[in-house]
Amino acid sequence: MVDGLKNLKLSLLHMGFVQLDERWRFDNVISPFSRLYLITEGEGWVWHNGQTFILKPGSLYLIPSFTYSRYHCDQSLTQYYISFFDEMKEGLSIYDLKSMLYEVQANELDYKLMERLLALNPGRMINEWDPRTYDNRPEVLSFNQPKPNQSMGQYVETHGILLQLFSRFFAAESDQDRQRAKGFHQLATVLQYIDTHLSEKLTVEQLASNVHLNTDYFSRQFLSIVGVRPMDYIINKRLERAQLLMMTSSLALKEVAESVGIPSIYYFSRLFKRRFSMPPGQYRETIWHM
């Protein structure tokens, strides 16, 4: 498991310290990045993964990427907030391989790390909370590069702090985690091929042939390891890639669909709405809800 995590890369998108009020109430939020909060005052709640988490002072909270979530504040809530992308080889997510906690008690070091991260990245705050008027795509496109006024040392330190804060949410490693990680890495060649060929036509027969396996046997193995059938996995990855493109580019929806291997905009819209409970046009309007 540890060897697999050596490839983990976290890239900062936004970071800031803010006092929220009753306007912080959003439903149907599904983002291609993860969020991390450290609450300092007030109270609110978030819902994701079938659970409601009461946001309390002195606690850290994680909301994974590509997760349907809801946010709510009745009066006031003061927090450090971070949004970030996670990357691993083979197109995997850390959430595929590791059981995670979503709420942990903050310690003194966590506060210091947040303060330091904010000092290193003063230009990463979100200044406009309404996604209908907030447009920050140039910053998103450069999320994995040092800011113009940031040294390479500060950039590396930022990555290190992100990893340290993120590690606070790692649950105790279980046999199930180890077996799942082993299975995913057995499929590494196939998963990497899918990730780099999403724009092309992909078939189960083609994938099975690439690893010299019988199609039926390959499909059963894939389902037992990944938890979904190969074509469902491909569709999910195409829709996740589409989400990222919709946030980081000005491509028309038809161009987005074509670039992820779904040439029909009508079929793309139907798949997107079925997965994310909203049509792609509405998603693009609401992507910046925090």
Residue positions counted in the chain: 290
List the Cα angle 213/217/218 in 5-degree steps: 60
DSSP 192: H
pLDDT confidence band for 138 (50 / 70 / 90): very low
Is residue 175 included in any domain, yes or no?
A: no
Rounded Cα gap, residues 232 and 128, in angstroms: 36
Structural domain span for residue 42: 2-167
Is residue 148 included in any domain, yes or no?
A: yes
Residue 288 has pLDDT above 70, yes or no: no
The domain that contains 220 carries what CATH number? Answer: 1.10.10.60
pLDDT at position 88: 78
**Domain end: 108, 137, 167, which one?**
167
Residue 139 has pLDDT above 50, yes or no: no
Q: Are 33 and 14 in contact (CB under 8 A)?
A: no
For the chain, give the percent of residues with pLDDT over 90: 53
Task: State whether 158 and 193 are in the same domain.
Answer: no
Instruction: Encode pLDDT of 243-280 as tens digits.
Output: 888 877 788 999 999 999 999 999 999 999 888 888 88
Rounded Cα gap, residues 269 and 276, in angstroms: 10
103-105 and 59-63: which strand pairing?
antiparallel
Q: In b/e form, how buried is each residue of 15-26, taking b as 16+ CB within 10 angstroms? A: bbeeebeeebeb
How high is the mean pLDDT of the chain? 85
Is residue 174 included in any domain, yes or no?
A: no
Domain count, the chain: 2
Least confident span in 64-73, 77-86, 98-107, 142-151: 142-151
Least confident span in 60-64, 198-202, 259-263, 282-286: 282-286
**Domain end: 109, 135, 167, which one?**
167
Q: Rounding to the nearest 10 degrees, give the CA dihedral for residues 203, 206, 207, 213.
A: 130
Task: State whether 157 and 71 are in the same domain.
Answer: yes
Is residue 181 included in any domain, yes or no?
A: no
Helices (H), ranges, the chain: 2-5, 94-97, 108-120, 137-141, 152-167, 175-186, 188-196, 204-210, 215-226, 230-248, 253-259, 265-276, 280-286
Instruction: Encode pLDDT of 49-85 as tens digits.
Output: 999 999 999 999 999 998 888 999 999 999 999 999 9
pLDDT confidence band for 132 (50 / 70 / 90): very low
Task: State whether 34 and 80 are in the same domain.
Answer: yes
Is residue 84 included in any domain, yes or no?
A: yes
Task: State whether 212 and 281 are in the same domain.
Answer: yes
* CB atoms near residue 87 (< 10 Å): 14
Task: State whether 89 and 137 are in the same domain.
Answer: yes
Mean pLDDT of 109-118: 97
Q: In whole angstroms, how far apart are CA 77 and each of 27, 47, 157, 290?
A: 17, 16, 28, 13
Give pTM, 2 decimals: 0.82
Mean pLDDT of 27-49: 91
Task: State whether 35 and 93 are in the same domain.
Answer: yes
The domain that contains 143 carries what CATH number? Answer: 2.60.120.10
Residue with tokens 């942990």: 104
pLDDT at position 62: 97
